[in-house]
Each structure stands twice: as C-alpha cells, then as structure tokens.
A and B are shown apart, each in its own frame.
Chain A
Amino acid sequence: MNVQDKIRQQVEENTIILYMKGTPQFPQCGFSGRAVQLLQSCGAKFASVNVLADPEIREGIKQFGNWPTVPQLYVKGQLVGGSDIMMEMHQKGELQKLIAEAQGAAAK
C-alpha cells in the first residue's frame, strides 16, 4: 500500500484524526500542542498520528491535504485545517459543533 492509500485509510477509519508533531501527551511543536488543547477542550475523542515517527507520512500528508504544514485535522475524511483555522473556529464555537456532530454521528 502506498503512503497516500495508507493516509486515506486512516482518515476514513477514524472520525476525528490529528496529524501532529509528537503525541497528545508530548507535543513537539507549539502549533501541534495548541491543536491538541483545542480538541481536548471540545471533549473530542480523537486519533493522532505522530509524523515525526514516520518520514513517509510526514511528506505524504502534505500532498494528501494539499496543505504544507502540520498539524492537520481531519473530521469525517475532510481536512478541517491547521491550528490557525482550529483556533478561529473554536472562537466562533464552530469547532465544538463540528466535533459534537461528528461524535454524535459516530455513536449512532
């Protein structure tokens, strides 16, 4: 399986998935740390992939999302954005709504 297929499988199998540097417990970049905090404050149960542990995914995720930076948040297979967009959506209450809806749908 090539790396693009692998990423596709990950985002399809996990309703909420964050590609980040480090882990939720030990983020290794301020932007990734902020993304984790925002998700946690929404009560999100999310999967995460540490791109530092896998050079192929680290490069591949940039192509996959047509997005040059990490972190990248995917909800229901769609790129939601990086930490700037997450922050802005959180301020408007949109991130909370998106997460709640995604988790509600997954629980059904």
Chain B
Amino acid sequence: MTRAEDIQKMIQQGLPDATVQVRGDDGQHFEALIVSADFAGKNLVQQHQMVYRALGANMRDAVIHALALRTLTPEQYAAESTR
C-alpha cells in the first residue's frame, strides 16, 4: 500500500528545494501541496509536470491511483497564509 509519506519522499527527492505536504489515509487517494521557488514563472501545467516527473513510473503505472496536486511559489503561499 502506498502511504502519504512515501509520496512525500518521492516528490521531495525530485524537487529537493520544495516544501511538500501530502495527506491521504486510504492508500489510494492523496492530496499534495508543494511549495517551491522553482515554480516561479511557470504555468500550472508546467508546475504539475515537474511534480509528475518526480513521481515518474509510480504515477504512470497507476501505483498512485488518485493524487490531487496544488503547486504554489513561496510568495503565493505566504500571500495565502496571511489572507
């Protein structure tokens, strides 16, 4: 069974500078929040593609059934927390 912390580690390895939070307890459905300065200047498709690349074959082979992604730059994250 895939665990949230496994996914967190995989994303973290691919995006070492990112802050990664993953939630999900049923082994199938997960939600990830990724905050990284590397997302600056990239559109959402490109940001999610960076995360998918980090997950590599695990995503393609449907080891991870359902993963909801949110990607933010540190500036966007800060703006959101103060709101």
Q: Is the interface of B mostly helix, strand, loop or mixed?
A: helix
Is B13's CB within 8 Å of the partner chain A? no
The 10 residue pairs across chains A and B that have the minimum distance between CB atoms: A68-B59, A85-B44, A81-B45, A84-B69, A68-B60, A68-B52, A84-B68, A79-B45, A81-B44, A66-B49
Of the residues B49, B60, B70, contact of A84 by C-beta under 8 Å: B70
Of the residues B45, B55, B66, B70, contact of A31 by C-beta under 8 Å: B66
How many residues of B are counted as interface, with CB atoms below 8 angstroms from the partner's CB atoms? 13
- Pairs across A and B, CB under 8 Å, 17 listed: A30-B66, A67-B45, A67-B52, A68-B52, A68-B60, A69-B67, A80-B45, A81-B44, A81-B48, A84-B48, A84-B69, A85-B44, A85-B45, A85-B48, A88-B44, A88-B70, A89-B44
Is A24's CB within 8 Å of the partner chain B? no
**Complex interface bits, A65-100 against B, C-beta within 8 A gives 1, otherwise 0:** 011110000000001111011001100000000000
Chain A interface (Cβ within 8 Å of chain B)?
30-31, 62, 66-69, 79-82, 84-85, 88-89
Q: Chain A contacts of B68 at CB under 8 A?
A: 84
Report the bound CA distance from A67 to B69 in whole Å.
13
Beyond A30-B66, A67-B52, A85-B44, 17 additional contacts (C-beta under 8 Å) are: A31-B66, A66-B49, A67-B45, A67-B49, A68-B52, A68-B55, A68-B60, A69-B67, A79-B45, A81-B44, A81-B45, A81-B48, A84-B68, A84-B69, A85-B45, A88-B70, A89-B44
